[in-house]
């Protein structure tokens, strides 16, 4: 496995790979890799000849009062995990080279970045789409793999690629969870024991909404209120948003249709967690005790 830190070196390497007729899969990450990231890599590994991952804690997608400085980092551990999963090349650029003095360009996706996380994290998605566009230009992947855990991010990136005719196929991978259902996240490391228990309220509330829909409830306001109550029953929780929206446009709905995205952001202690699920009419909801497993 090769580690490349320079942008020019990465571009040259990618050119050589493509000149040899080999396809490239890219998995962009911010490091502190967990099983969710590794699943994305396994998917990329299957789809292309050469698997590239990037590790870059991108400063421009963090707000001024967010956790950029505290964001967990473990390059050595990450490299070991990447090696074990069959990564060919790890690209680890520096912020100085990614954003040199004079940098002033932004890729901005309009409507799908407005609600949900876009409301509470202004500028976040500009940071995401801009860095992903840069990574695409540097690595030139045939396929790029992203997690559905960051549903709005995946939507914004897909929109950008379509709108700007970027020659890359975007693949979304279902959320990987801990055995009890908590969505894996590098930020779970911040949770103490009590908060870890309360963090399960996100997954439980997705189950609850799915059950309510299965039992015939289609009023988004009623479902949202039940979800909010369930979350707030758990100590240390503060709701950022609970939104029921169209899974494509991400526009809020008042009635649950054939497919509805339930997206959540909840502060548990000092940690902000997100989760989501597309809930569908006509599918049986999960059993009530599932959350306890």
User: Cα separation of 19 and 112, whole Å?
Assistant: 36
Q: Report the site for ligand AMP in 23-52 (rule: CB under 6 A).
A: 29-30, 36-37, 39-40
User: Cα separation of 105 and 60, whole Å?
Assistant: 12
Smallest separation, CB 274 to ligand AMP (Å): 10
Smallest separation, CB 195 to ligand AMP (Å): 18
Of the candidates 53, 117, 176, 265, which one interacts with ligand AMP according to CB under 6 A? 176
Smallest separation, CB 55 to ligand AMP (Å): 8
Q: Does 276 bind ligand AMP (CB under 6 A)?
A: no
Smallest separation, CB 67 to ligand AMP (Å): 12
- Given the residues 37, 124, 234, 236, select the one marked as catalytic: 37
Q: Does 147 bind ligand AMP (CB under 6 A)?
A: yes
Q: Compute how many residues bind ligand AMP; rule: CB under 6 A.
A: 17
Contacts of 181 (CB under 8 A, 6+ apart): 200, 203, 204, 290, 291, 293
Of 183 and 212, CB closest to ligand AMP: 183
Q: Does 202 bind ligand AMP (CB under 6 A)?
A: no
Q: Does 61 bind ligand AMP (CB under 6 A)?
A: no
Residue linked to tokens 């995205």: 261
Q: Report the site for ligand AMP in 91-120 (rule: CB under 6 A).
A: none
Instruction: Tell me if residue 124 is catalytic.
Output: no
**Which stretches of the chain bind ligand AMP, using CB under 6 A?**
29-30, 36-37, 39-40, 146-147, 149-150, 173, 175-176, 183-186
Q: Would you please indicate which residues are annotated as catalytic (active-site) residues? A: 37
């Amino acid at each position: 496995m090769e580690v490349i830190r320079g942008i020019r070196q990465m571009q040259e390497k990618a050119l050589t790979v493509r000149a040899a007729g080999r396809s490239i899969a890219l998995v962009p990450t911010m490091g502190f890799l967990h099983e969710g990231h590794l699943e994305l890599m396994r998917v990329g590994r299957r789809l292309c000849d050469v698997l590239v991952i990037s590790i870059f804690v991108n400063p421009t997608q963090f707000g001024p009062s967010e956790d950029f400085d505290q964001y967990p980092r473990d390059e050595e551990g990450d490299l070991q995990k990447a090696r074990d999963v069959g990564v060919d090349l790890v690209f680890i650029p520096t912020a100085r080279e990614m954003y040199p003095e004079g940098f002033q360009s932004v890729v901005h996706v309009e409507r799908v970045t407005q609600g949900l996380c876009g409301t509470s994290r202004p500028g976040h998605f500009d940071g995401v789409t801009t860095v992903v566009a840069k990574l695409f230009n540097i690595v030139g992947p045939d396929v790029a793999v992203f997690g559905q855990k960051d549903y709005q991010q995946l939507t914004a990136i897909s929109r950008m690629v379509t709108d700007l005719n970027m020659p890359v196929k975007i693949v979304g991978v279902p959320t990987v969870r801990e055995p009890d259902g908590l969505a894996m996240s590098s930020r779970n490391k911040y949770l103490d024991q009590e908060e870890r228990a309360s963090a399960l309220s996100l997954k439980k509330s997705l189950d609850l909404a799915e059950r309510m829909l299965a039992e015939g409830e289609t009023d988004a306001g009623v479902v949202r209120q039940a979800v909010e109550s369930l979350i707030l029953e758990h100590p240390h929780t503060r709701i950022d948003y609970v939104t029921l929206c169209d899974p494509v446009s991400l526009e809020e709905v008042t009635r649950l249709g054939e497919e509805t995205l339930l997206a959540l952001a909840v502060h548990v202690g000092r940690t902000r967690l997100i989760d989501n699920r597309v809930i569908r009419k006509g599918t049986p909801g999960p059993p009530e005790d599932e959350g306890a497993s």
